[in-house]
């Protein structure tokens, strides 16, 4: 059953080459260094015309329509990249396109669709998910007798997408040992695997899905495509509730291994690609690279391929990605410690347990007069985090890994302002380097105790923290204020908040 389907897909890729190459140049195939002996190449489908490979399939599908079909117009559903491809095809081929997009689609992607299609496109915002938009688009197509341009579960669409694999083969590089291909609906993964397997029969294909959106692996488990009960849309370009009826059997046969990666691993891959190429790809675009990096220890001496398949992302998502990515390729860990509330305990924790950690987040609020529960975030390999926990065990400090906790993710810092003694709220600025917070604790240890601390690494040379200090008496508080006014060093690094701002915390 699958063999005729494979042959049909292979032939569609052959036919698509003439159409696709008539309108666009091949995208680059570039080598990157991941710090091992592996020879890693990246197919740069994050390049124009729409900063995604999706234009290939959309253009190929619309180009195969008869003149009569194009005159009636086409319809599609997409959360972004496929919509841009259809818009581009409609404008270049002189037809109209009605594009259904989920209502939460980022404005940047809606604007891009309008720019690529101009007067040839009309956007309809329907539903909250791709599946809801797709259902509405198909009904619209039936009503108006228009061809529905499917983003993945169509052999002609897949044929266009497979041309990127033809460019890999034609690049003249020796056969690849391994290829990591992201899977959403499975169209690109099926087409690229089909072509690579024909010309590189010994290649090992790894299909990569995001945790919470592994619809292909769900289909493999059940023996047929099934809808996911829940769908993580962080990587929205691959967030598909149900894999395709055509892509499922193709991927089942052509792909040798299926793996999942976490959102944190995707973010880390985005950061790594930025470090290598100074280009930010979208989460779906980094999915294959994330899979590669998760198995890099297995790739020594091998020639490896990954595809950066898109770079369409709302700017506002960058903050969350940077926060989850870690620094220098390390993972981000958050630990909640239980220590004494007495002065000097936090400093002792930093001396005994966190002395070699690059602290990138500090959340603390006083909630008890006897015990304190600071949360410290740091970037480090897993083994270093394990060492920190072991040190806590050795010195008798209770510790809890809260990296996945919602209150940490949303920075919900608990505190009881009525427990603060003669408080003073400061905005503290310090050089963003390892050990700077430790130095601050040393500076204030004889003068005050912490009752509140809110700091998050921002990537700047200067770190900024909102700090609450408490004192034994009002006289000690005034002494601290005088010291701030008189010390050039302290005055350069501290700014006393206005009474109005302080009151918002202290009420």
Whole-number pLDDT of residue 145: 97
User: Are 399 and 427 a contacting pair, CB within 8 Å?
Assistant: no
pTM metric for this prediction:
0.81
Which residues have CB under 8 Å from 225's CB, separation 6+? 215, 219, 242, 243, 244, 245, 248
Q: Where are the beta strands (DSSP E) in 21-149?
A: 29-32, 39-44, 74-77, 97-101, 121-125, 147-148
Give the domains, in start order, of the chain with CATH numbers. Answer: 1-325 (3.40.50.1100), 331-506 (3.40.1020.10)
- pLDDT at residue 163 above 90? yes
The angle subtended at Cα 492 by Cα 490 and Cα 494, nearest 5°, is: 60
**pLDDT one-digit tens code per residue, 61-115:** 999 999 999 999 999 999 889 999 999 999 999 999 999 999 888 888 899 999 9
CA distance 377 to 111: 38
Average pLDDT, the chain: 90
At residue 481, the pLDDT reads 81
160 vs 22, which has greater pLDDT? 160
- Predicted local distance difference test score (pLDDT) of residue 325: 72
Beta bridge partner(s), residue 75: 98, 148
Express the helix, strand and coil content of the chain in percent, nearest 5 each. Answer: 45, 20, 35
pLDDT in tens, 361-403: 999 999 999 999 999 998 888 888 899 999 999 999 999 999 8
Q: How far is CA 215 from CA 134, 221, 387, in A?
A: 17, 10, 37
471 has a pLDDT exceeding 50: yes
pLDDT band at 35 (very low <50, low <70, confident <90, very high): very high
pLDDT digits (tens, 9 = 90+) for 415-461: 999 999 999 888 888 777 777 777 878 877 878 899 999 998 877 77
| Total Cβ atoms within 10 A of residue 274 | 16
């Amino acid at each position: 059953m699958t063999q005729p389907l494979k042959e049909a897909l292979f032939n569609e890729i052959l036919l698509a080459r003439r159409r696709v190459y008539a309108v666009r140049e091949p995208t680059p195939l570039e080598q990157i260094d991941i710090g091992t002996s592996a020879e890693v190449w990246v197919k740069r489908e994050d390049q124009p015309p729409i900063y995604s490979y999706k234009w290939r399939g959309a253009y190929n599908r619309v180009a195969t329509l008869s003149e009569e079909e194009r005159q009636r117009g086409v319809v599609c559903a997409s959360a972004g990249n496929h919509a841009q491809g259809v818009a581009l095809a409609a404008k270049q081929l002189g037809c109209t396109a009605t594009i259904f997009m989920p209502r939460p689609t980022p404005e940047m992607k809606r604007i891009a669709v309008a720019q690529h299609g101009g007067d040839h496109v009309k956007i309809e915002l329907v539903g909250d998910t791709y599946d809801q938009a797709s259902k509405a688009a198909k009904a619209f197509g039936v009503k108006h007798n228009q061809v529905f341009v499917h983003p993945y579960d169509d052999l002609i669409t897949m044929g266009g997408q497979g041309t990127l694999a033809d460019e890999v083969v034609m690049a003249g590089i020796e056969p690849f040992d391994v290829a990591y291909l992201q899977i959403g609906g499975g169209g690109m993964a099926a087409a690229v695997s089909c072509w690579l397997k024909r010309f590189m029969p010994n290649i090992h294909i790894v299909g990569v899905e995001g945790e919470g959106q592994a619809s292909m692996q769900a289909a493999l488990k059940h023996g047929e495509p099934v809808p996911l009960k829940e769908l993580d849309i962080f990587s929205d370009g691959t967030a598909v509730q149900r894999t395709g009826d055509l892509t499922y059997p193709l991927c089942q046969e052509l792909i040798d291994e299926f793996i999942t990666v976490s959102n944190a691993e995707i973010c880390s891959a985005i950061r790594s690609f930025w470090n290598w190429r100074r280009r930010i790809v979208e989460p779906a675009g980094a999915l294959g690279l994330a899979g590669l990096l998760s198995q890099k220890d297995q790739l020594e001496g091998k020639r490896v391929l990954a595809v950066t398949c898109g770079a369409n992302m709302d700017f506002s998502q960058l903050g969350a990605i940077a926060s989850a990515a870690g620094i220098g390729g390390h993972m981000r860990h958050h630990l909640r410690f239980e220590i004494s509330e007495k002065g000097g305990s936090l400093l002792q924790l930093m001396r005994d347990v966190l002395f070699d950690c690059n602290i990138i987040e500090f959340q603390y609020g006083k909630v008890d007069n006897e015990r304190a529960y600071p949360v410290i975030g740091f970037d480090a390999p897993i083994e270093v985090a394990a060492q920190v926990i072991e040190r806590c065990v050795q010195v008798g400090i209770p510790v809890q890994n809260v990296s996945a906790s919602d209150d940490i993710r949303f920075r919900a810092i608990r505190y009881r302002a009525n427990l603060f003694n003669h408080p003073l709220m400061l905005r503290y600025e310090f050089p963003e380097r390892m050990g700077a917070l430790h130095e601050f604790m040393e500076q204030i240890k004889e003068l005050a105790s912490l009752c509140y601390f809110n700091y998050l690494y921002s990537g700047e040379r200067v770190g900024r923290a909102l700090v609450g200090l408490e004192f034994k008496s009002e006289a000690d508080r005034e002494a601290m204020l005088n010291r701030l006014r008189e010390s050039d060093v302290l005055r350069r690094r501290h700014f006393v908040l206005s009474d109005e701002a302080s009151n918002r915390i202290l009420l």
